[in-house]
Structure 1
Amino acid sequence: MQYPALGPDNHPLQAARADGFYQESQLPASLLGDFQSAAAETEFEISTNTRRNYMASFAIFQSYCEHHGISALPADPRAVISFIGQQKDVMQESGCQLSKATLITRLAAIRFFHLQAGYRPPTDHPMLLRIMRGISRNQYRQQALYDQQPIMYAELEQLLRAVDSQSSSLLALRDKALLTLGFQGGFRRSELASLQFNYLSFLSDKLRIRLAFSKSNQTGVKEWKDLPYDEPFAAAPFIKAWIDAAQIDRGHLFRSVSRCGQYLRHYQQKSIGSGGRNSGFLNGDDVYRTVRKYCKIAGLGETWFGAHSLRSGCVTQLHENDKDTLYIMGRTGHTDPRSLRHYLKPK
C-alpha cells in the first residue's frame, strides 16, 4: 500500500513540508493507523475558540480574493497587503474602524492556514510588518474606546439580587455559584465553562481549584487558585449549594438547566475519537449571556458589562483591598504584571 506523502496537497492533518526529509517510496499499511492517531493530535494544536476565529477571519480573506480573482491559498504577499488596506478602513455599525487586534487576528489566520498547507506564510513579508507598525502608531484611526467595566462588591450584590428574582430555584443556585466564582477567582469565561467537579478541593480555610488548562497555560502545567472562605461574597458556599441541589459528582461543574428550570439537561461529554457531541453543560458564550442577562435585570446595563467584567472586577477589587501585585497575579494566573494594567480599572 502506498503510504500518504507529507505534502501541501494532502489532507490538512497530514500537511507538512517534505522538503529535506527522507521518505521511503512505500510504507506498510500496518503503520497507517498509528500515523493517523498521531496526526489527529493536531486538533489540539490551538484552542477551539482560536480555530473558530481563524476560520472566520480566513473566510473573509478568501471572499476578498475571490472577488478580485486571485489565489487565497497560497497567497501573494501583495494580496495580503491589499486586504489589510481594505480591512483597516472598514467601518463598523458603531462608526469605528476595526481595531489593531482584529487586523492581527486576520493576519494570524492567514499565516496559520498557510503553515497548515505547507506554504511559506505571506504575512512574513517585511512590508506587512512595516504596515502593522504604522497602524499601531496611527493616531487618526477611529477606534472604539469602549471597554467593559469591572463588577465589584456593589455590582455583584445587585446581580445576586437579580438572580433571586428568577422563578427557578435550581437556576438561581447555579447562577449564584457562577457569578461569585467568576468574580472571586478572576476566571475567564472559558475557564468557568471547562471547570470539572474533581478540580475542586474544599480545604479548612479555602476553596482550592485546579486549572488543567487555561489561555495562558496551554500545555497543562500545574496551576491552581486558592479562594479564602473569609472574603466577602466567597464562592464556596454557593458552589456547595449548587452541587448538592444538582447532585453533581463528576464531569463539568456548570450544567445546563431545562427551559422550565426544574431539572438538568442530559449530560454527555464526548471522548477523543468517539464521534459523539458534547451536551448538558455551559460554554463560554453561555457564561457571557448569563452575566449580561443579570446586568440587564439589575439595571446596570448590558452595554458596559460582560463576562470580562468579573475578571476585571476581581483585579480591581483586590487592588482596592490593598493586595499587592504578586497576590493578585496568584489569584488571576497572570505571569506578567504588565498584563494587569488592562484589567485594573479603579473607579
Structure 2
Amino acid sequence: MSGNRISPILNDTVAKNGFYQENELPLSILNDFESAAKETRYEISDNTRRVYRSSFGIFSAYCGSHGLSSLPADPRSVISFIGHQKDIYQESNGHQLSTQTINSRLAAIRFFHIQAGSPSPTEHPLVIRVMRGLMRNQNRIVSDYDQQPIMYDELELLLQAIDERKQNLTRKRDKAIIQLGFQGGFRRSELANIKVNHLSFLRDKLKVRLPYSKSNQQGQREWKVLPKEEPFSAFDAIKEWLFAADIKEGHLFRSLTRDGHQIRDYQVTDANLGKGFLRGDDIYQLIKRYCNKAGLDPQYYGAHSLRSGCVTQLHENKKDHLYIMGRTGHTDPRSLNHYLKPNE
C-alpha cells in the first residue's frame, strides 16, 4: 500500500527536510506507527502546551493584522514581532515585557513550526542577534524583582491564615500543600502530580518519589528525603490529610466540594487526565490566595516562593550546596545562586 495511507503529513515533512523517503510504506506497519505517534502527547506538559497556544495566538494575531503568514513565518516577521513586543507597556505595572516573556513567545513559534515540519524562523541568525542584543539592553523598563522567598516567618503567617478556615478538610489539605511545597522545594506542577504511592513514611523521614520533574524528564529515579524533625515538617501534615480524606491511592491533593466537607469524585485516564484532583494552576491560585490573606503582597509572593524559600532557608540553616541540591533536585550548583538572596 502507498505510504500516503499511513501519514501524508509525515511524508510532506520528510520531503521538506531532506530525509530519505521510501516510495511506498506497507500497511502492515500502520499499528506500529500509530502506537509511536501517540507518544507525542507527552512531548511537553499540558501547562506548556497551553502557554504555547496562547503565545502563538498573539503572534498569529500580529501577523494577521499586517497581512503576514504566521505558519510558515518569514524571519523578518518574527523580528518585527519582537520589535512590537519589546515596546509594549503593561497596564498592570507600567513595565515593558520581560525578555523571558518574549523568549517564551519565540519558543512557541519554534514549537509550532517544528510540529508543522517547517524550518523555524527563530533560528535565523538575525533573529538570534536581535534577541542577544535585547537581553543586554539595560535601558528597558522591566520588573527588577523575582518572587520573594517564603521562609519560616512567612510560612507561619500562611499557616495561621489556613487555620482561620472553618472546614476541617480544607485546613488539612492546604496545610499539607504549603508545608510539603516548602520543605521539599517542589514546583507547583510537581506537587500536583504527587500520588499516594510516591510517599514512604519512615521512622524519622518522609520520602517522596518524583517519577518526572522539570530537571528529570526521562523518568530517572529521583527521591526527596524530608526529615520529620525539621521545623514545619510535612510528615504529620500529610498523614493527617490522608487520614481525614481517607485517600488510599491516586493523586495526593484532591478537589473538594464547594462547602469543603467532602472530596469530589475522582477519575484519571492513562494520559493523567481526569477530574477530582488539583492541577498546578489550582495550587498557584491557592498559594496566592493565602498570601493575600496573610498580608504578603501577591505581587511579590507566589507558588515559586515556596521553592525559593526552601533554598534560602536551608542556606541560612548552614546547609551546603550538595545538601540543598539533593532537596530541590537542582543539577547545577550555579542554579542555586539565583535563589541565595536575603529575605528583605
Contact 1:312-1:345 at 8 Å conserved across structures: no
How far off its partner does 1:287 sit?
A: 0.8
Q: Distance in 2 between the 1:89 and 1:5 partners?
A: 48
Query: What SS does the corresponding residue of 1:290 show, helix, strand or coil?
Result: helix
Compared CA separation, residues 326 and 301, structure 1 to 2 (3 A): same
Alignment partner, residue 279 of structure 1: 275
SS of aligned partner of 2:305:
helix
Distance 2:112 2:36 in 1: 20
> Structure 2 CA distance, aligned partners of 1:39 and 1:158?
48
State the distance in 2 between where 1:296 and 1:22 align. 58
Deviation at 1:21, TM superposition (A): 1.4
Instruction: Quote how far apart the aligned CAs of 1:299 are.
Output: 1.9
Shift of 1:6: 8.3
Determine if contact 1:88/1:103 at 8 Å carries over to the other structure.
yes
> What secondary structure sits across from 2:224 in the alignment?
strand
Give the secondary-structure state (helix, strand or coil) at the position aligned to 1:4. helix
1:287-326 maps to which residues of 2 (within 5 A)? 287-326=283-322
Tell me the equivalent position of 2:48.
50
C-alpha distance in structure 2 between counterparts of 1:294 and 1:20, whole Å: 54
- The Cα shift of 1:24 comes to 3.3
- Partner of 1:92 in structure 2? 90
Q: How far apart are 1:27 and its partner, in Å?
A: 2.0
Q: Is the alpha carbon distance of 1:15 and 1:244 closer, same or farther for their aligned partners in structure 2, counting shifts above 3 Å? A: farther
Alignment-derived partner of residue 340 in structure 2: 344
Deviation at 1:146, TM superposition (A): 2.8
TM-score computed with the length of structure 2 as normaliser: 0.94
In structure 2, the partner of 1:153 is: 152
Deviation at 1:277, TM superposition (A): 4.7
- Counterpart residue identity of residue 83, structure 2: G
> Helix, strand or coil: the match of 2:267?
coil
Q: State how far apart, in whole Å, the 2-side matches of 1:15 and 1:194 are.
A: 37
**What's the counterpart of residue 64 of structure 1?**
62
> Given that residues 6 and 30 in structure 2 are in contact (C-alpha distance below 8 angstroms), is that contact kept between their aligned partners in structure 1?
no
Corresponding position: 1:112 with 2:118: no
- Matched residue of 1:108: which SS? helix
Give the Cα separation in 2 of the matches to 1:155 and 1:137: 34
TM-score in terms of structure 1 length: 0.94
Give the distance between the partners of 2:77 and 2:135, measured in 1 at CA: 21
Q: Once the two structures are aligned, what percentage of the paired residues are identical? A: 59
Q: Counterpart of 1:242 in 2: which secondary structure?
A: helix
Q: CA deviation at 1:247?
A: 0.9
What code does the residue aligned with 1:17 have? V
- 1:212-231 to 2 correspondence within 5 Å? 212-231=211-230
* Amino acid in the other structure paired with 1:323: K
User: Which residue of structure 2 aligns with residue 179 of structure 1?
Assistant: 178
Higher mean C-alpha displacement, 151-160 vs 183-192: 151-160
Q: Which amino acid aligns with 1:325?
A: H
Counterpart Cα distance in 2 of 1:263 and 1:88: 47
C-alpha RMSD over aligned residues:
1.8
SS in 2 for 1:201: strand
Q: Confirm or deny: 8 A CA contact 1:3 1:32 kept in the other structure.
A: no
* Other structure's SS at 1:198 match: helix
* SS of aligned partner of 1:17: helix
The question of whether the paired residues in 2 share the 8 Å contact of 1:227 and 1:234 is answered with yes
Change (3 A) 1:190 1:15: farther
Which residue is equivalent to 2:4?
Answer: 4
* Per-residue CA distance 1:78-114 (angstroms, 9 max, x = gap): 1111111111111111111111111111111111111
Alpha-carbon shift at residue 76 of structure 1 (Å): 1.0
Which residue of the partner structure matches residue 190 of structure 1? 189
Distance in 1 of aligned mates of 2:52 and 2:217: 17
Aligned-partner SS, 2:81 = helix
Q: Secondary structure at the match of 2:226?
A: strand
- Give SS of 1:227's match: strand
DSSP-derived class of the 1:112 partner: helix
Q: 1:17 aligns with which of 5, 14, 17?
A: 14
Q: How does 1:260-275 map to 2 (within 5 A)?
A: 260-272=259-271
CA distance in 2, matches of 1:15, 1:149: 49
Question: Unaligned stretches of 5+ in structure 1?
Answer: none
**In the aligned structure 2, how far is the partner of 1:170 from the partner of 1:49?**
27
Distance 1:63 1:5, change over 3 A: farther
How many residues end up aligned between the 2 structures? 340
CA contact (8 A) 1:257 1:265 kept: yes
Name the residue aligned to 1:331.
327
